[in-house]
Amino acid sequence: MGAETLAAAAEPAVERFRSPGTVIARFTSRSIYKTALIIGYAFAIYAASSFLGFNKTYYTKAARETLARLFGTNAGLQALFGVAHRIDTVRGFVAWRTLGVLTIVGGIWALVAATKRFRGEEEAGRLELFLSGQTTGGKAALNTLAGLGAGLLIVYALTAVVTGIVGNMNKVHLGASETLFFSLALVASIAEFFAVGAFASQIAPTRRRAASIAAGVFGLSFILRAIGDATPSAHWLTNVSPLGWIEHLRPLTGSNPIWLLPIFTFVVVLCTATVYLAGGRDLGASLLPDKDTRRHHTRFLNTPLELALRESRGSILGWLASLAATSIAMGAIAKAAGKAMAASTGTQTFIKSMTQNPVVGATTYIAVVFLMVMAAIMAMAAQAINSMREDEAEGYLDNLLTRPVSRVRWLGGRLLTVVASVFLAGVVTGLFSWFGSESQNTGIALSKMLQAGVNATIPAAFIIGIGALTLGLRPRWTSAVLYTVIGWSFLMEMIGPAIKLNHWVLDTSLLHHVALSPATDPRWSTAGILIGIGVVALVIGAFAFNKRDLAGT
């Protein structure tokens, strides 16, 4: 068979499978589907655990009445999680618990993912390769939105399937339309902030600034919704908040689909504007152009450690501010939450199995809050390690290593900054939790809170070591390894005691080996072992990093 015959035979296959008009959509969907699966599983498991948890915890009428009395009208909880409707029923409890948490998780993931796929790809120079083919800026933006939409569908499908199955297993008897509408409400914030992130990527010159703008919109939406829910006279503020629109949908407790109209309009308008702006601007340009020149600032550029501080200070301050705000809010409702837990036999059993403390009250509630803090500080450490990987993958590290800067000094400076920021996060969390709880006269000592804050950093210390090890041996696996460890550990600790998993399974959770202080005293011997393993892993990772070649994307 001649060369011409082979080429002719191959030509239809090329035309059929390459589809140049949709290549960016397929590229985007392939790049996001793994994280979409993780988010989808998290949404599904959280919704399922809410059904299971309510039936096991509040199985008596008295327990449900106490839940409604203490949680249903608490202004602090309404500000954080939204207004509760019929919280003494499984439908009302599940809707309140899931919408209050998952809309926030979904929105944050969406704005990060969208700015990465839009401005991030353009900033890295990869979009230029696509635009050299059979497409335009507007078509590329439309394709990217389609790829993000595929990720949204994955999350929606997983949530709907698991919710439908578990809901009907627990005699709730959710209809198909109820299940689909409930799942739609859960993923609505993802659609909203996909659109916000995409639009922000057109008006900002860098991914970092685009993410900051999108995060600002998210923060404003949350504040408007929180003030409106906590203050009856200002309840109208929820009507102008994208997160407030989702709350007004009221899935499972009197569905109000009319609020899909502003959500749909918001998404369509921002997506249309994104496509229009992308089609009318030059590659690398933006509505708010970056300055070509600016005054030079040489502070914190003398050593790798100072450079690490300069690069990460914004992120560190953001994390500390978020942890401080969350901690003071959680501390302020500790007394009421402790009373609610003590009034429910099922809750007492669950909390005792988790904290190993026979007394249920404000202290045990704070201990459960610190479990969530542990996961947050682990995520903070993982993000810092991933930023080190990004500096290598994008080629920024090459510019440093061509100068008299050794790999060990650069790595040491970055890791020292991560360790210090993690420790500071623990202290800030303990201090502000004490401020909040002290306002309600819970009687928890400051020393106990600070001790609990430091104890909360132990899992993050282990994560730093594992991150350094992965960075040294398999750099491209860094993000996947770290977030898998964090997600698995948190999931096992949240649902393990409720469904009474085997202790061998629970032992695979990193969080299971850390005492929940201040409900119990920290296990410093176990903490020392975890830190020791982390240090060994860090040393091996640093040695491997010093010996291997740099690895790009």
Quote the CA–CA distance of 64 and 92 in Å, as a whole number.
11
Q: How far does CA 442 lie from the centroid of its chain? A: 30
Q: What pTM was computed for the model?
A: 0.72
| C-alpha count within 13 angstroms, C-beta hemisphere, residue 394 | 14
The structural domains of the chain, with segments of one domain joined by +, span 21-285, 300-553
Specify the range with the lowest mean pLDDT, choosing from 87-101, 206-220, 280-294, 364-378. 280-294
Taking each helix axis from N to C end, the angle separating 207-230 and 90-115, rounded to the nearest 10 degrees, works out to 160
- The pLDDT of residue 256 is above 60: yes
- The pLDDT of residue 512 is above 70: yes
Quote the CA–CA distance of 160 and 58 in Å, as a whole number.
24
Q: Which pair of tokens denotes residue 496?
A: 């393990």
Selected residue with higher pLDDT from 352 and 158: 158
Nearest-10 Cα torsion for 265, 269, 274, 275 = 100
What DSSP string runs through 365-429?
HHHHHHHHHHHHHHHHHHHHHHHHHHHHHTTHHHHHHTSS--HHHHHHHHHHHHHHHHHHHHHHH
Write out pLDDT tens, residues 349-405. Answer: 555 555 555 555 778 778 878 888 888 898 889 888 988 888 888 777 877 777 777
Write out pLDDT tens, residues 451-484. Answer: 999 999 999 999 999 999 999 999 888 888 888 8
**Helix (H) or strand (E) run with residue 61 in it:** helix 61-71
Nearest-10 Cα torsion for 216, 222, 225, 230 = -120
Quote the CA–CA distance of 266 and 268 in Å, as a whole number.
6
